[in-house]
């Protein structure tokens, strides 16, 4: 089977579980670091002719990360498209298990079993706190309800203050966010690369946790270690000046 993945987390999952199947991936597919396959553009604007030139049996896509128009173009060329759309940790684990079985992996790989074990804990790792999770700025965009990231944080003990909104990715103003009086601002380093000098300064007087976006939003092998890594990062907030 020849597989092209347009989803970074699925690229990693296939590459480490079924090496040899993957023949193409996006430029944003950074894991594993030694991945040596053809690159076919970005997640939003892949080079569809380049994908077709690889003669894939299946192309892996995500409803949020990729465009419907590209999926339609691939299907019109008689290429099978596998769409994923996990919005919870348990949903992601089940989708991964089903995908890998369909690609020829008879048993769940060790990393997937480890991820299930890590996220089976029912007791939150952190004390309850109200949090806001910006994922972009200029304009500000935050993670709302029914999102994978929100479920990850909920399982760690945080309450996403935008979890009850109808919009999955609201665009509040800074004033609106501050008015909610959050205990914590969670700033992942992707998709927007929040850092000590880019993000916390917008929330003076509020605790800000700089965390790994890959461990917050990727559903793949990173889930095996995400609970431990995110718990440690969320427990180490910084001020606008970058001091603990």
Residue that has been written with the tokens 């004390």 in this structure: 127
Q: What's the pLDDT at 241?
A: 52
Enter the tokens of residue 148.
Answer: 């994978």
The boundaries of every CATH 3.40.50.1980 domain in the chain are: 3-85, 129-234
pTM: 0.91
Beta bridge partners of 195: 198
Instruction: Provide CATH code, domain 3-85.
Output: 3.40.50.1980
68-85 CB burial, b ≥16 within 10 A, e <16: eebbebbeeeebebbebe
38-39 sheet: strands from edge to edge: 38-39, 22-25, 3-5, 58-62, 80-84
What is the SS3 assignment for 88? coil
CATH number of this structure's domain 129-234, picked from the four choices 3.40.50.1010, 3.40.50.1980, 3.40.47.10, 3.40.50.300: 3.40.50.1980
Taking only the tens of pLDDT, the chain with its 244 residues reads 999 999 999 999 999 999 899 999 999 999 999 999 999 999 999 999 999 999 999 999 999 999 999 999 999 999 999 999 999 999 999 999 999 999 999 999 999 999 999 999 877 878 889 999 999 999 999 999 999 999 999 999 999 999 987 899 999 999 999 999 999 999 999 999 999 999 999 999 999 999 999 999 999 999 999 999 999 999 988 866 544 4
Q: What angle do CA 101, 121, 211 make, to 5 degrees?
A: 85
CA 167 to chain CA mean position, Å: 18
Instruction: Give the integer Cα–Cα distance in Å for 69 and 57.
Output: 19
Enter the tokens of residue 217.
Answer: 């939003």
């Amino acid at each position: 089977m020849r597989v092209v993945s347009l989803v970074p987390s699925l690229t990693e999952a296939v590459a480490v579980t079924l090496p040899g199947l993957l023949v193409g991936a996006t430029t944003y597919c950074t894991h594993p670091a030694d991945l040596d396959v053809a690159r076919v553009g970005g997640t939003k604007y892949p080079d569809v002719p380049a994908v077709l030139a690889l003669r894939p049996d299946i192309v892996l896509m995500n409803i949020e990360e990729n465009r419907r128009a590209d999926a339609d173009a691939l299907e019109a060329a008689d290429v099978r498209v596998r769409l994923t759309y996990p919005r919870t940790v348990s949903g992601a684990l089940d989708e991964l298990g089903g995908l890998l079985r369909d690609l020829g992996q008879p048993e769940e790989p060790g990393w997937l079993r480890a991820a299930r074990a890590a996220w089976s804990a029912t007791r939150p790792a952190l004390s309850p706190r109200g949090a806001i999770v910006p994922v972009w700025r200029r304009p500000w965009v935050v993670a709302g309800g029914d999102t994978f990231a929100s479920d990850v944080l909920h399982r760690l003990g945080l309450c996403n203050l935008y979890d009850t909104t109808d919009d999955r990715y609201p665009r509040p103003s800074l004033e609106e966010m501050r008015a909610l009086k959050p205990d914590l601002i969670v700033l992942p380093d992707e998709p927007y690369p929040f850092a000590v000098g880019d993000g916390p300064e917008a929330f003076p007087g509020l605790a800000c946790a700089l965390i790994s976006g890959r461990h917050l939003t990727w559903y793949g092998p990173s889930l095996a270690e995400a609970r431990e890594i995110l718990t440690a990062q969320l427990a180490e907030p910084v001020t606008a000046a970058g001091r603990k």
